[in-house]
Amino acid sequence: MVACLSYTPDPLPRTNPFPCSRLQFGSQEALLSLNKCTNFKHIKQIYAKIIRHGLSHDQLLIRKLLRLCSSYGKMDFATLVFHQIQGPLTFTWNLMIRYYTINGCSQQALLLFNLMLSQGFPPDKFTFPFVIKACGAASTIDLGKVVHGLAIKTGFIGDMFVLNTLMDLYFKCRKVDCGCKVFEKMRVRSVVSWTTKISGLVSCGELDVARGVFEQMPTKNVVSWTALINGYVRNQPEEAFELFWRMNIDNVRPNEFTLVSLLKACTEMESLNLGRWVHDFAHKNGFKLGVFLGTALIDMYSKCGSLEDARRVFDKMQLKSLATWNSMITSLGVHGCGEEAISLFVEMERANVQPDAITFVGLLCACVQTNNLEEGQRLFKYMGEHYGITPIPEHLTCMIELYNRAGMLDEVCILENAMPSEPNDYILSALLRASKVYGLVNMEKFLYRHSGKVDSSAV
């Protein structure tokens, strides 16, 4: 968390180290160069040039640079650049807070806000939504309440963006009453205010209340329709489609978000025909096969039983995200195509896509499906040694299952070292299966050591 802020870069020159340079490189040229940047190395070169030509005081230029660093996920370099600015404007502080949150560094965002205040830089109406979002991302409702108080004290609480973000924070932290209170106190409400309340209630499990709020909404747009549709996907997928038809009658055009929700509903219903209909609808209505829609289609086809269609979508996708690769690898694995799953993983590595823990869940599941202990052991080792990925319960469940099937219960016990303090139900089930089959006394002891939930009669 403190990594970015405690990062101590080599000192950079604050003045032009090449005052006699004859090169013509002003702010305009620097901006043009930044606009043409295609890789991070290029950004660093331009920054060096900015320093050399004494342009580092130009905050417009620096903000552009920070935005590029953020888009490349290079927040360590952005931190270095930011701390070279003498007297950053509130605008620039705001952007840094926002970029930290976007890049998953919400703690750094909050630390930077604290630094901003302690150095006497005044927050403005833009600062608060960014900071409140950081509180939400860091799940710190207590700090969120402090920021709420500060927004009141500084007079920015009347801003609709601040109120909408606050409401969202309270709902995301399951403080339904506080979220509703913010909504009630709003003098003016936008479609975003209403939609924030609807989606907030839907995550808090208050679907009926959310429906009531939706019906009261003066103006509905595609986001509000999709928020409600999404609420029905898991437990009442048919109702999600009913709402979709109603939305069409109301002449609200669905977007990619809507179709992804519908595909999830198809998956819940295990309806390949309906899934094909959504795919066809997307095609006929000119939707591009983007990463979200494409990945949702792969998942739907796979879970509805058509691995061939899933693979066809995967091959057709021009742009693939990590989730896309993971979805296809998992699909191959659960359909018993273990070798193909591993081949696709090799292809993924060749494409320079960095795998994550979920990739290895898919791969290890593929090994379980095909009873391939040797490959499972190799991948489990490779995951840690090559990628530094720490095993999560899903990996351990697969490994226990593999060792269990091979009758290697001593190996199961070795996994104890990697076991979380409170193994989840999947792990306990896998261990129980192992214990039940082989009736090992040691296993019973092991289970008792890790959970008070297990009844000895079940073993």
Partner DNA sequence: TGCAGGGTCT
- Spatial separation of the C-alpha atoms in residues 269 and 242, rounded to whole Å: 14
Residue 334 tokens, joined: 């659960």
What does DSSP assign to residue 56?
T
- Residue 327: name the closest of 352, 305, 353, 294 by CA: 294
Q: Which residues contact 236 (CB under 8 A, 6 or more apart)?
A: none
Per CB under 7 A, the list member of 46, 65, 95, 243 interacting with DNA is 95
98: contact with DNA by CB under 7 A: yes
- Is there binding between residue 335 and DNA (CB under 7 A)? no
Query: Shortest approach of DNA to residue 190 CB, angstroms?
Result: 6
Residues in Cβ contact with 256 at an 8 Å cutoff, skipping those fewer than 6 apart: 287, 290, 292, 293
C-alpha dihedral (269, 274, 280, 281), degrees to nearest 10: -90
Q: Is 397 in the site for DNA (CB under 7 A)?
A: yes
CB of 348 to DNA, least distance (A): 11
Based on the shown chain and the rule CB under 7 A, indicate whether residue 330 belongs to the binding site for DNA: yes
Residue 126 as a binder of DNA (CB under 7 A): the answer is yes
Binder among 108, 327, 377, 435 for DNA (CB under 7 A):
327
Q: Which two three-digit tokens encode residue 131?
A: 């900071």
Q: Please choose, out of 19-27, 111-119, 153-161, 277-285, the segment that lies near DNA by the rule CB under 7 A.
A: 153-161
Q: Residue 15's closest CA among 84, 68, 65?
A: 84
Please calculate the CA angle 242-243-245 and round it to the nearest 5 degrees: 65
Type of residue found at 191: V
From the list 69-77, 87-95, 271-279, 346-354, the region that binds DNA by CB under 7 A is 87-95
Task: Work out whether 372 is an interface residue with DNA (CB under 7 A).
Answer: no
Helices 373-387, 338-350: crossing angle, 10 deg rounding: 20
Query: In this chain, which of 56, 108, 140, 261 binds DNA, going by CB under 7 A?
Result: 261
Min separation Cβ 22 and DNA, Å? 34
- Interface with DNA (CB under 7 A), residue from 116, 227, 247, 307: 227
Which of 1, 14, 18, 91: binder of DNA (CB under 7 A)? 91
Q: Which helix (H) or strand (E) holds 309?
A: helix 307-316
394, HSE (Cβ side, Cα atoms, 13 Å)? 14
The residue within the footprint of DNA, chosen from 368, 389, 402, 447 (CB under 7 A), is: 368
Helices and strands per DSSP (H, E), number in the chain: 26, 0
CB of 9 to DNA, least distance (A): 24
| 73 near DNA (CB under 7 A) | no
Residues that bind DNA in the complex, under the rule CB under 7 A? 90-91, 94-95, 98, 124-126, 128-129, 133, 159-162, 164-165, 168, 190-193, 195-196, 199, 221-224, 226-227, 230, 255-258, 260-261, 264, 290-293, 295-296, 299, 321-324, 326-327, 330, 334, 356-358, 361-362, 365, 368, 392-394, 397-398, 401, 424, 426-427
